[in-house]
Chains A and B, each alone.
Chain A
Amino acid sequence: AQSVTQPDIHITVSEGASLELRCNYSYGATPYLFWYVQSPGQGLQLLLKYFSGDTLVQGIKGFEAEFKRSQSSFNLRKPSVHWSDAAEYFCAVATGYSSASKIIFGSGTRLSIRP
């Protein structure tokens, strides 16, 4: 069965420092992978997605993620974080390739920014 693991529950980084959030997936074929961000009490915002092609995906707000099939990973990175990046981040995988496919979410990583 498809699954997503985010091993880090909570990460704190200093403002201006680089960031990497880890995500590992389990899927039999080429996965569709997503990163979402959720601010407290808010809905989800899509940061980026990977369907195929270039394994380094650029997203909004300066985020990027790299798909590594050999490691079953899709880690999210940002070279320099801002205080406004403090939020909950979810990695997700689609269970198929159609609009009827489910999205399975990881447990999330809470990002705190140290002034």
Chain B
Amino acid sequence: GAVVSQHPSWVICKSGTSVKIECRSLDFQATTMFWYRQFPKQSLMLMATSNEGSKATYEQGVEKDKFLINHASLTLSTLTVTSAHPEDSSFYICSASPGQAFSGNTIYFGEGSWLTVV
């Protein structure tokens, strides 16, 4: 079945550096992908909608210059956390859906990426 894969599964970086997380749809094309952030023991909060070939749409309160999203192809979206700080440490999850409509399809979530900023 359709799979969404994230890489890396976990990453530790130094404060002030940037880190990139990839989200790939392995056997379907996704014009839209979504990025979520989940702090420990909290729910998933939508950060942004990644649109292939155009700018991402960010949710209110999410800094677009800090969380750079690139959706250069129909199977890959990347989230770059720039100048990371310890408060950016979180679990980042992406999702994507094949096709245009939900009916008969579903949304697939990546396995998530743990980011720890030290």
Contacts and interface: CB of A to CB of B under 8 A. Distances in A.
A108 B40 CA distance: 12
A98 B101 contact: yes
Contact of B44 (A32, A52, A105): A105
Nearest to A6: B43
Interface string B28-46: 0011101010000111111
A103 B59 CA distance: 12
A43 B31 contact: no
A106 B43 contact: yes
A63 to B, nearest CB: 16
- For chain A, the bracket of interface size reads 20 to 34
Nearest to B59: A102
- For chain B, the bracket of interface size reads 20 to 34
Given A32-B102, A99-B97, A100-B31, A44 B109 contact: yes
B101 A99 contact: yes
B106 A49 contact: yes
A44 B43 contact: no
B49 interface: yes
B99 to A, nearest CB: 6
Contacts of B32: 99-100
Interface of A: 32, 34, 36, 41-44, 46, 49, 51-52, 90, 94, 97-108, 110
